[in-house]
Each structure stands twice: as structure tokens, then as C-alpha cells.
Amino acid sequence: MYTKKEIWKISYPILISLVVQNLINITDTAYLGHVGEIELGASALAGVFYMAIYMIGFGFSIGSQILIGRRNGEKRYESIGTIVVQGSLFLVILAFVLFGISHFYAPHLMRSIISSEVVFSATMQYLDYRIYGLFFSFVAVMFRAFYVGITRTKILTVNALVMAIANIVFNYMFIFGKWGCPQMGIAGAALGSVLAEALSLFFFIIYTICKADIHKYAFFETIHVDVKVIARILNISVWTMLQSFLPIITWFFFFISIEHLGERPLAVSNIVRSISTLFFMPVNAFAVTASSLVSNAIGAGKPEEVMSISRRIIGLCYMIVIPMMALVYLIPAPVLRIYTDSASLLQDCIPALYVMLGYYFIAVPGSVWFNTMSGTGNTRSALLAELITAVAYTLAIYFLIFRLRPNIASCWIVEYVYWGVLLLFSFVYLKKADWWNKKI
């Protein structure tokens, strides 16, 4: 049985790595908030679009992580390196495919759905550079899956620090044209993020070669493409790829809906989204831990511990999230001033910020139980849960935002629909479904 101390020992490096890693989003938003509201809003659309593509690769790594965790629990260490290498080769190929699709079709898509000409122009300036990050981020997520799967998560913190510091420096250089660099504005934010991701991948490679037991995990057994191994990973990962892509693409629909309300509501939503990221980081860290520990527990022949593990993780997550919520609720202005000096924009953000804070009461158990479900290996059921949730969320966006066109704070109520449906499905699955003997 994993104690709270052991859970925290695994979770906190993931949490710190996510905190530091998400400084990329926070840095981009904070810098661009001081450039202009157009750039601030455009970076939200372009950033979520890029994230939707990125989550396809990230979803593949989640499926790989589940397999790595199961093999680690079974002590079949020699299979782990093969999963990492073959997964990385597959993701490089996938990055080329998605890069090509985005390069040729993204301008037409954005032109058809963005109503403001200036927002469209700024969005494409960002995407033209940002899309190159796929080649680095897709491989980096496999290293993350490896270290989470074998429960050696401390290195994630160091790697994230390297990436965050690089992003802060590169953004400052290229957005504002410092130290002899061209002043690129919103395009500079994208370029800085790509360079930071490249440095992150380079760090992972060097560390793994120097510090990981490459013989124990048989990293160099198959350095050519092995279709059979990739197919075995995809048997699990194809479902996690889809379930990772769905919530982001529906969130993209949310921001497109907001853009049709005007440039100010879009700027407000990007700031609230960035602050929401601060809360989602601990939620995501504990959810990832749940998936890994559940997979390890089942691999070790202890499925009876699954529900107890998830309950302890939910309790620990609340201990972090609730004080954060209380702090932001009581003093929102200092947090918002990180993103804008405009008093009117700050005042418009506060009601939406309060609505956003409330849904984390259900997001904590919803995310942990959903990842617990994925950790059992039944990724098809997890995809079904995400699909049902995405449909409910999309309908809520259509009727509440497109049809009613309310104030920006009311628009964020749709997030309660998303997390409420996901929470209900995950809880019913874990209570009623036969997941104890799932083989992967």
C-alpha cells in the first residue's frame, strides 16, 4: 500500500516540473499582455490550437507510460527501453505528418473561424513559428513517460527548470528585441518557446545517456523501427491519444466562441485560462501519479489497493488546491496585474476568475478518478468517458455562448458541465465495471 508520504514523494517532482513547464504559457501570456490585447487574444487561439496537436503526441506517451508502469511493476525491465525507443521513433514520424497538415491547412481553418482580421493575422504569426516545436516536444514526452512510469520523477523538475528559464530568456530577447535580437512581438514568443523545447529535449537525452541504466532497460536492443512493438503500444495509446486530443479541441471551440463575442472577452479568457493553469498543475500532477501508481499496483498483483490509492491522492490534491483557491479569491488583483496594467481589463477579469475557481472542487476528483480508470489499462472506456464529456461540453458551449451570448463570466460555467460529466462517468466505472483483471 502506498502511504501519503510515498505518494507525495512521487507526485511533488511531477508537480514542480509542471509548475515550471507551464511557466512557458504564463510567460507568453504575461509578456504579450504588455504588448497588446490583440496579441494576448491571438496567443490564446494559437496556443490552444498548438496544444491540441501536441496532445496527440502526449496522449501516445500516456499510453506508453501505462505500459512502462505495468512492466515496471512486473519487473520486466528489459521491455521498457524498447517501448521508449519505438515510441520515440513513431512520434518523430507523427510530428512530420502533423507539421505538414498544420502548415498547409491551418491558415484556411483559422481564416474560416476567426472573425477579426487583426486577430487572424497575429494568430498565424504565432503559429508559423510555434508548430516547429512538435519535433522536440513529441520526443521529450517519451522521456517523461519513462521517468514517470519507473517512478523516478525528480529529473522532471530539473528538466522543467531548464526549459522555463530558457523560455523566459528567449521570450524576452525575441518579443522585445533585446541583446541584439530582432523585435518580433508575438512571433518572438513562439520562437522562444520552440527553442526552450529543443533545449529540454537535449537535456533529457544527455541525462538519460549519462545517468539511466541503459543496459537494465535495454535501450539499444531495437534502434530501428519495429512495427510489432509500435502496434502493441498503439493498442493502448490510440485511445489515450484520442482522449487527450478531445478536451483540447473542444476547448479550442470554446475560445473560438469567445472570439466571436469580441477582442476584450478573448483577452479576458486568455488571462483566466493562464491563471487556471496554475490550479490545473497540481491536479494534473496528482492525476498522473494516480495513473502510474495504479498501473504499478495492478502489475504487482494488488488491484485491491486501487481505490484506496485514488482516495489518498484526492485528499492530498485538495490540501494544495483549496488554499490556492482561497488566496486568489481573496486577493485577485495582484495575480491579475502579472498579465495586464489596464485597470478596466483587470476589473473585467475578476468575475470570470471567480467562476473559474469554483469548478476545481469537482475537477480534483474528476481528474484523479479519470486517470485511475486509464491506469487500469482500459483506455477504451476512458476514451468513451472523454467522448461523452466532449459532446456534453460542446453542446453547452453552443447553447450558452453561441445562442445566448452572455457576459464573459457566465461563459465559464460550461467548465462545470465538462468536469461534472467526467466525474460521474469515472466514478461509476470504478464502482461498477470489471477492471480488476485487465491484461495489457
What pLDDT is attached to residue 23? 66
Provide the whole-model pTM: 0.71
For position 373, what pLDDT does the model report? 82
Phi/psi at 225 (5° precision): -70, 125
pLDDT tens digits for range 13-39: 666 666 665 666 667 677 776 676 777
- The pLDDT assigned to 203 comes to 92
**φ, ψ for residue 217 (rounded to 5)?**
-95, 0
Q: How far apart are CA 416 and CA 212, in angstroms?
A: 42
Per-residue b or e along 145-184, where b marks 16 or more CB atoms closer than 10 Å to that residue's CB: bbbbbbbebebbbebbbbbbebbbbbbbbbbbeeeebeeb
pLDDT given for residue 213 in this prediction: 72
The pLDDT of residue 225 is: 72
Q: Which among 189, 358, 348, 187 has a CA at the least distance from the CA of 267? A: 348
Give strand ranges (E) for 17-150.
none
Task: Kindly report, residue by residue over 395-406, the tens digit of the pLDDT.
Answer: 998 888 888 888
Instruction: Return the pLDDT at 201.
Output: 92
Enumerate the H helices of 331-438 as residue ranges: 332-336, 343-358, 360-375, 379-397, 408-411, 414-432
Distance from C-alpha of 438 to C-alpha of 353, rounded to nearest angstrom: 41
What is the pLDDT at residue 99? Answer: 93
What pLDDT shows up at residue 392?
Answer: 92
Q: What pLDDT was estimated at residue 2?
A: 61
- Residues (pLDDT < 70) of the chain are 1-4, 6, 8-26, 28, 33-34, 36, 218, 221-222, 377, 379, 433-440
